[in-house]
Amino acid sequence: MSALLSIEGLGIGFGGLRAVDDVGFSVRPGEILSVIGPNGAGKTTLFNMISGVYRPDKGRVLLDGQDVTAMEPHLLARRGLSRTFQNLQIFQSMSVLDNAVAGYHLRESGSVLADLLALPASRRRARDAREGARALLARVGLERMADREAGALSYGALKRLEIARALALEPRVLLLDEPAAGCNAVETEEIDRLIAEVAASGVAILLVEHDMKLVMRISSHIVVLDHGQKIAEGDPASVSRDPAVIAAYLGTEGASHADG
């Protein structure tokens, strides 16, 4: 199968600093590609460029072979790319259910006039979206929280709410930025299972995660960043043995200890 999402020579600088430089890889449908690296390696910046939040100054992002570099996030959403955020981006003052329903925006939105007058067409669209959203909340284990205000949820629950909202778009490419951060072991396992399930349904998943056990267990492919550059790439087993990776994580001294 050919690549669904390809990144070619992507780079961005902030002032004099090259936050990400010349990074490239590709993801196929059903594949889980993890991007790992020490703090500040440029993982989230990379995600922000792919999802259109930042405009890269070098390189290209290809979706279905089409150049979508620096395309507005809402247009990328139309093309089937959706994401979650490392530092939660939740609609705090809305209910949990409404947060998930918001993910149906592209399918539920229609004429404004119908919305203003509460015409049957508008109410039907909203009802369908609500039903879909309830099912998604059940899938991430939040169905009983549906009517609570989102701001009242725990960090781990909000992480799962973001995943539900992203899944509501029925994406073909899903970017997950540290989905397991702040989650306990049980929640992490649930997220683990959820990601595997979503990938199995043919979605290409891009994952940034610090929980190495989770990464090693579910990734089909791993890209390692350090100081904004790709230092290694491969399957979990080969990446975890790569001396450059060990050096990046433990420092060169640590690497020599590991060698010895």
Partner 1 sequence: MRMTPKSATLIVLMALIALSPLLFPSNFYYRVGALIFVNAIAVTGIVILTGYAGQVSLGHAGFAGIGAYACALAPVHLGLPPALAVVLGAVLSGVLAYLVGRPILRLHGYYLGVATLGFGILVTMVLTNERALTGGPDGIEVADLGLRGLLGDLGLKLSNGQFWYFFSGLCMLIGAWIALNLHDSPTGRALRALHGSEVAARTVGIDVARLKLRAFVISAVYASVSGSLLALQNRFVTPDVAGFMHSIEMVTMAVLGGVGSVLGAIFGAAILTLLPQVLTVFAEYEQMVLGLVMILVMIFLPMGLLPSILRTLRRKDE
**Whole-angstrom distance, CA of residue 34 vs CA of residue 110:** 37
Spell out where the chain has E strands.
5-14, 17-27, 32-36, 58-63, 66-67, 81-83, 173-177, 204-208, 221-226, 229-234
Q: Does residue 81 sit in helix, strand or coil?
A: strand
Q: Closest CB to partner 1 among 1 and 116?
A: 116
Q: Closest CB to partner 1 among 69 and 122?
A: 122
Shortest distance in whole angstroms from residue 134 CB to partner 1: 15
Chain residues in the site for partner 1 (CB under 8 A): 51-53, 72-74, 76-78, 82-83, 85, 89-94, 98, 101-103, 105-106, 108-110, 112, 114-118, 122, 125-126, 129, 165-166, 168-169
Shortest distance in whole angstroms from residue 247 CB to partner 1: 35
Of the chain, the end-to-end C-alpha distance in Å amounts to 41
Q: Closest CB to partner 1 among 18 and 172?
A: 172
Shortest distance in whole angstroms from residue 47 CB to partner 1: 11
Shortest distance in whole angstroms from residue 72 CB to partner 1: 7
Shortest distance in whole angstroms from residue 224 CB to partner 1: 26
Tokens of 82: 């959706």
Q: Closest CB to partner 1 among 31 and 177?
A: 177
Pairing of strands 221-226, 81-83: unpaired
Q: Closest CB to partner 1 among 115 and 242?
A: 115
Q: Closest CB to partner 1 among 152 and 258?
A: 152
Contact 223, 199 (CB under 8 A): no
Q: 32: which residues sit within 8 A by CB, 6+ positions away?
A: 195, 196, 199, 205, 207, 218, 219, 220, 221
Positive or negative torsion for Cα 215, 138, 47, 1: positive
Q: Closest CB to partner 1 among 21 and 51?
A: 51
Contact 199, 221 (CB under 8 A): no
Shortest distance in whole angstroms from residue 152 CB to partner 1: 14
Place of tokens 């993890």: 34
Shortest distance in whole angstroms from residue 206 CB to partner 1: 14
